[in-house]
Structure 1
Amino acid sequence: MTLTRVIRLALVDDHAILRQGLRSLLEREDDLVVVGEASSEPEAAAMVDAVHPDVVLLDLKLSAGSDFEGLSLCARLSAAHPDLGLLVLTTFLDEDLVVRAVHAGARGYVVKDVDTTELVRAIRAISAGESAFDARSAAAVVRSLNGRAEAREHLTDREVEVLRLLAAGLSNAKIGEQLFISATTAKFHVSNIMRKLGVSRRAEAVYAASKRGLI
């Protein structure tokens, strides 16, 4: 019998009732368990140090005084725990915010009214080391990338295609399906892209490419 790998989750949101609702929804899944909760940046940093979750769901707004305190927390957690999966779950949908969240270390970005099935899929993707964006945030990233007209420098046309699919949160296997290539070839392209851009993570590649106007 194959044992299901349990994904340890932490919830960071300043509204206790929302955290309770998320816990109730997510723990219906056999492979998801909430191991910690926090309502502020200091609480979240201490909680993550204590319970070592696999994935953190965090809001961008954690206090009445700041709309985007979660960006600071995201950067703080990413620096302290490079392997931690950070998934932004927020009410804000803005192209610049999506890119800023990725720059701060987020591997995914979904809006709070996302379907539960999609949220669970995003959590599993983040846990597996992939990126995860809901349809609207992915579209925002792609619009931002497509709006840049600077030179592509040393990226090939195929690598640009792969980057656009990375921005949509696709796995190597899904990229392969879209481009009619094998997952191994897709992984090869992703590795080349990250090497050329001087980054070590898929989400960082999307951010670096957008900032440099490569796609």
Structure 2
Amino acid sequence: MAEVIRLVVVDDHAIVRQGLRSILEREDDVRVVGEAATADEALDLVARERPDIVLLDLKLSADSDTAGLALCGRLTGRAPAPGVLVVTTFLDQQLVLSAIQAGARGYVLKDVDAVSLVAAIRAVRRGESAFDSHSAAMVVRSLAGGPPAAGPELTAREQSVLALLARGLSNEAIGRELYISATTAKFHVRNLMRKLSVSRRAEAVYAGSKLGLI
């Protein structure tokens, strides 16, 4: 009989956790031993259950799109460390690379089909890397990348906003950090994205990183 893979699901949405559990419980060699919605819950659960694999979303709070990155580093820094497979809606080259640097062994999007997800879980359990086609292409692209190009001039305020975007903060959270309204924060974010010629916040962070602005 195949070894049973003990697995924990970490996602702030109950319906996503339930959906993943429903998919994975069809597999004879996969057993979901717990679910967590927050970083603290996940740390306690992993310490108690010692799973082989953690399926981890990057967005674990309303104020941050990347809180899961910090949790990933804490999980992989433990002994024994579980294999972390990021399962997220965010597709961004810098996030993929940051997840790898934090110790993740794989990165797949939530629209992955069940067969591919289970194959990724088994690969991580074998000690291999597991990336879907999109994230794998980004890893290859990063390896072929050159030095940062010259970028647009940002105001001091826009530099501050970009740094807070890199932390995954929402407009409301940026406003609290800079003592401005959420509307004003949104205005600066829009100006920033326009200067960087991007349409998404994650793209602004990636572009800023490539240009050496953060």
Q: Scaled by the length of structure 2, what TM-score is found?
A: 0.67
Cα distance between partner residues in 1 of 2:107 and 2:129:
9
1:117 counterpart letter in structure 2 = V
1:21 match:
19
Cα distance between partner residues in 2 of 1:74 and 1:83:
10
Q: Mean alpha-carbon deviation: is it higher for 108-117 or for 140-149? A: 140-149
1:126 match:
124
Query: Could you list the per-position Cα deviations for residues 22-63 of structure 1 after superposition, in whole angstroms to 9, with x for gaps in the alignment?
Result: 001011011001001100000000000001100000000001
1:97 match:
95
Cα distance between partner residues in 2 of 1:66 and 1:93:
15
Tell me which stretches of 4 or more aligned residues in structure 1 moved more than 4 Å.
none
Larger radius of gyration, structure 1 or 2? 2
Cα distance between partner residues in 2 of 1:29 and 1:11:
15
Matched, 1:59 2:57: yes
Report deviation, 1:80: 1.5
2:41 match:
43
1:178 match:
none
Q: Report how many aligned residue pairs link the two structures.
A: 148
Query: Could you list the per-position Cα deviations for residues 116-139 of structure 1 after superposition, in whole angstroms to 9, with x for gaps in the alignment?
Result: 111100000000111100000000
Cα distance between partner residues in 2 of 1:82 and 1:74:
14
1:135-154 matches, within 5 Å, as 135-148=133-146
2:31 match:
33
Report deviation, 1:148: 3.3
1:115 match:
113
Among 12, 16, 37, which residue is 2:10 paired with?
12
Unmatched runs of 5 consecutive residues or more in structure 2: 148-214
Q: CA RMSD in A?
A: 1.4
Cα distance between partner residues in 1 of 2:40 and 2:78:
13
Report deviation, 1:81: 3.4
Cα distance between partner residues in 2 of 1:110 and 1:143:
17
Report deviation, 1:21: 0.7
2:208 match:
none
